[in-house]
Structure 1
Amino acid sequence: MQQEARHSTEQALHDYKMGVGKFSEKLPEVTKTFNAFTEACFGEGSLSKKEKQLIALGISVVAQDEYCMIYHTKGCIDQGATEQEILEACGVSAAFGGGAAMSQSVTLVQECISELTSHTH
């Protein structure tokens, strides 16, 4: 089963790379500009490349973006992140995702219930 997962991960990375190639043929300036922008964002700075990959992975988990999860998990590994660091980043993203759901539930949803039911009575 792990072998199947590895194949699908490698296939997803391959599919993404092929898709970027085709997109680049049709919109080379957009692709070139986007790539330059993301390279600048992920370059070494006050935050390390590893820290930036961990942040990106956490965001991709909350956004439920499967290609980015695969891409940034690989980025974390490539930048030397340990399994524990990767899992902790995912834990923070789970807390954030749950926290966002909770914060909307205790504010906006309750406000809507109050406003919508007060008009019907």
Structure 2
Amino acid sequence: MDQQQQQSSPIEMALQEYKEGIGTFTKKMPSIAKKYNAFTEACFEEGKLTKKEKQMVALGISIFSQDEYCIIYHTKGCLDEGCSEDEILEIVGVTAAFGGGAAMSQAVTLVQEAISELSQSQDNQLQ
């Protein structure tokens, strides 16, 4: 898959839309954005939980709340922190135990699509 096709995929487009939205918000509300970013960065720093574990928690919450941008973002975060597909699918199972069919529907569509596309993207970057 060439770079132009990757950028036009729904997953890559969603990540780009989020990035652009944050950029616009930051320009319009710099003080709030700076404080929000500092807070979230602190939350995801290594502590008693690893960065990987924190991404896994965030993915579960994202699926449960059906926040599509965060589902994609934290699926990517999980992959970036070394999660395997099996680990991500276990997160899905636990989330579906609490969120039922709504959580499962996100998993069998968006999470699996994100894993597939983002894994291919990572493989292409390594080559």
Which structure has the greater CA radius of gyration? 1
Q: Which of 81, 88, 91 lines up with 1:86 in the alignment?
A: 88
User: By how many angstroms is 1:67 displaced?
Assistant: 0.3
1:9 aligns with 2:11: yes
- TM-score normalized with structure 2 length: 0.72
Q: Distance between the aligned counterparts of 2:10 and 2:34, measured in 1?
A: 27
Secondary structure class of the residue paired with 2:45: coil
For the residue of structure 2 that corresponds to 1:47, the secondary structure is coil
**Structure of greater relative contact order (alpha carbons < 8 Å, 6+ residues apart):** 2
Write the deviation string for residues 69-110 of structure 1: whole angstroms up to 9, x where unpaired. 000000000000110001101110000113xxxxxxxxxxxx
Q: Report SS of the residue matched to 2:9.
A: helix
Match of residue 47 from structure 1: 49
TM-score, L = length of structure 1: 0.75
Q: For residue 43 of structure 1, give the secondary structure of its aligned residue in structure 2.
A: coil
What is residue 26 of structure 1 aligned with on the other side? 28
What RMSD in Å do the two structures reach over aligned CA positions?
1.4
* One of 66, 72, 75 as aligned partner of 2:74: 72
Large movers: runs of 4+ above 4 Å: none
Q: Secondary structure at the match of 2:70?
A: helix
Gaps of 5+ in 2: 101-127
Following the alignment from structure 1 to structure 2, what is the Cα–Cα distance between the partners of residues 87 and 38? 25
Please tell me the residue identity of whatever aligns with 2:94: V
State the Cα distance separating 1:36 from its structure 2 match.
0.5
Q: How many pairs align? A: 95
